[in-house]
Amino acid sequence: MVAHYGFKDGSGDWFLTLDTDKCNGCGKCVEVCPVKILEVGPDEIDPFREEPVASVKHDERKKIRYHCAPCKPGYGSEPPPCVAVCKPGAISHSEGWKACFKDSHQ
């Protein structure tokens, strides 16, 4: 399952996308996230899944635009820590931050 955590509004798309089929629940992303918005626990969407899975904390979903902004996901040579550490490649970010960065640096 592909879970899009975040929101879309007039200013763009602000989503952290997590592919739960790829996620192995290792929890490395939780450790490296500088703002601690991720957690690993039982799958809340699929009650029949046995293995733990990473997700964005409930309270952080509406603030994701601001919390993910310091890492500038989608920009530059270095990927954000959560994406870099994820071996199965389950985490990605939407274009919102990228466009935002381009606007402010041109």
Partner 1 sequence: MSQQEKPIEFWRWPEARWVNSDINWKRGKLITAGVDVGSVSTQAVIMVDGELFAFGNTRTGSDSPNSAKKGMDYALEKTGMKLEDIDYCIGTGYGRVNVPMAQQTITEISCHAKGANFMYGPEVRTVMDMGGQDCKAINVDNQGKVLNFMMNDKCAAGTGRGMEVFANLIHVPIWEIGPRSFQISKEPPSISTTCVVFAKSEVMGLLEQGVSENEVIAAYCSAMAHRIAELLKRLGVKEKFVITGGIAKNEGVVKRLEKELGIKTAEKVWANQKYRKNNYPFDTQIAGAIGAALFAQALLETGKAKSVKKTGIVESWNIGMLGRIRFI
Query: Can you give the binding site for partner 1, defined by CB under 8 A?
Result: 1-4, 7-9, 13, 15, 44-48, 61-62
Quote the longest CA-to-CA distance of the chain: 48
Choose between 2 and 84: whose C-beta lies nearer to partner 1.
2
Q: Least CB distance from residue 33 to partner 1, whole Å?
A: 21
Please tell me the distance from the alpha carbon of residue 59 to that of residue 36, in angstroms, as a whole number: 12
Choose between 9 and 103: whose C-beta lies nearer to partner 1.
9
Q: Least CB distance from residue 57 to partner 1, whole Å?
A: 14
Please tell me the distance from the alpha carbon of residue 26 to that of residue 61, in angstroms, as a whole number: 21
Task: Collect all residues with Cβ–Cβ distance below 8 Å to 61 and sequence separation of at least 6.
Answer: 5, 6, 7
Choose between 48 and 105: whose C-beta lies nearer to partner 1.
48
Q: Least CB distance from residue 25 to partner 1, whole Å?
A: 18
- Strands 2-9 and 38-41 turn out to be unpaired
